[in-house]
Structure formats: C-alpha cells, structure tokens
Amino acid sequence: MTTALPAPPGAGPSGAGDPAAGPPPADRVPAAPAGHRHTARYVVVGVVLVGALVFLMAKGLGTALNFYLPADQAVAQKAQLGGKTFNIEGVVQPGSIHSTASGVDFVVTSGATHVAVHNSSSPPQLFQADIPVIAVGHFAGDVFASDEILVKHSSNYIAQHPGRVTAPNGSKQ
C-alpha cells in the first residue's frame, strides 16, 4: 500500500497555483526583475532632479524679477506690499534732499503723490533734485526705507557724452 504525500501549497494538478491554498511562502516570492528596480530608481532620481530644478528656477526668477512701481501706485498698493522689498520710482522733489549721518533723506513725486524716502547708503554721484530715480527698499510706516538709489546714467557716461542726459526740468547734464 502506497501513501501519497501531500502536495506543497500552491501546487495543483495543472501545475499552476491553487488560489485556495493562499500565497506562496516568502522564500518563494519571485523578486522584481532587475530592470524594474533600476527603472524605479531612475524615476525617483528624475523626479527629485526636476523638483530641485523647478525650485531653483522659481527662487532665481523671484529675485531676478524686481519690479518697480511709480510712487502713486506704490502708495495705492501700500497695504498689499506690507514690508516687501520693491523698487519705487519717482522724481526727486526740489528742496527735499537732506544729508544724514547714514545716507540721505528726500521726497519722490509721481503725479500728485509725494513719498518721503530715507536712504541708508551713499547716493550716486548723479543724484540731485528734479531727476527720475528708483529707490530699492520697503515701506516702514509712511516712509519708504531704502538702501539703494538708482539713477539712469553714471557719471562716466555723462563725462563721455556731455549734453545727452536731460532732466525732467529740461536741463542738460
């Protein structure tokens, strides 16, 4: 008399796994093909690199796109701007320039709007009344706190090309 040995789990008469027998033991679980593991790694590395590139571009463009606002628009948007750094544009009001220990105080105008500016650095050589300027800074209450003043042309340009720069009052520099 011969006794049949029980079939191992998952082995059926057709050689295929018997669904009622449950999953095969852990040591018999087939490993993912090597190609799939490498592909998954490449996908993860690619996603990380694309994410880093997008982050750096957004960060770089955010700082590179320094917009400027005319003084009247800046005052109208003062609540939305808060303490955010931006460039304010206006014409230096005659009689408003006063040197300070740390820089210069002056008033820029745009239309009927006047904005007091406190600059904490040395103004450029061409800085004077009645010329358009851009001040870099932020609002601190009713005063625009600036650490840089930009004037259209340097003194080297004017020395090389006298009479080409015209102030809004019509005078030639």
At 78, which CATH number?
2.40.50.140
Same domain (yes/no): 98, 37: no
Amino acid in position 83: G
Structural domain count of the chain: 2
Identify the domain boundary among 63, 82, 113.
63
Give a yes or no: residue 21 inside a domain.
Answer: no
pLDDT at res. 29: 58
138 and 144 in contact (C-beta within 8 Å)?
A: yes
- The answer on 95 and 45 residing in a single domain is no
- Per run of 10 residues, the mean pLDDT along the chain (length 173 residues) is 57 53 60 68 90 82 68 92 90 94 94 94 89 92 94 58 51 51
Q: Which two tokens stand for residue 161?
A: 């090309």
Are 70 and 112 in contact by the 8 Å Cβ rule? The answer is: no
Across-strand partners of 98? 105
Would you state the pLDDT for residue 72?
Answer: 92
- pLDDT at residue number 165: 47
Q: Number of H helices and number of E strands within the chain?
A: 4, 7
Compute the distance between CA of residue 88 and CA of residue 68 in angstroms, rounded to an integer: 5
What pLDDT does residue 24 have?
58
C-alpha span between 37 and 131 (Å, rounded): 66
Residue 112 lies in a domain: yes
Domain edge (last residue) among 63, 87, 111: 63
Cα 125 versus chain centre, distance:
30
Residue 118 tokens read as: 């406190």
Same-domain pairing of 84 and 135:
yes
**Whether residue 86 is found in the same domain as residue 144:** yes
Is 5 a member of any domain?
no
* DSSP code per residue over 3-59: -PPPPPTT--TTSS--GGG-SPPGGGSPPPPHHHHHHHHHHHHHHHHHHHHHHHHHH
**Where in the sequence is the domain holding 49, given as residue range(s)?**
31-63
Global pTM exceeds 0.95 = no
Residue 82 has a pLDDT of 87
Return the pLDDT at 143.
95
Q: Which helix (H) or strand (E) holds 159?
A: helix 155-160
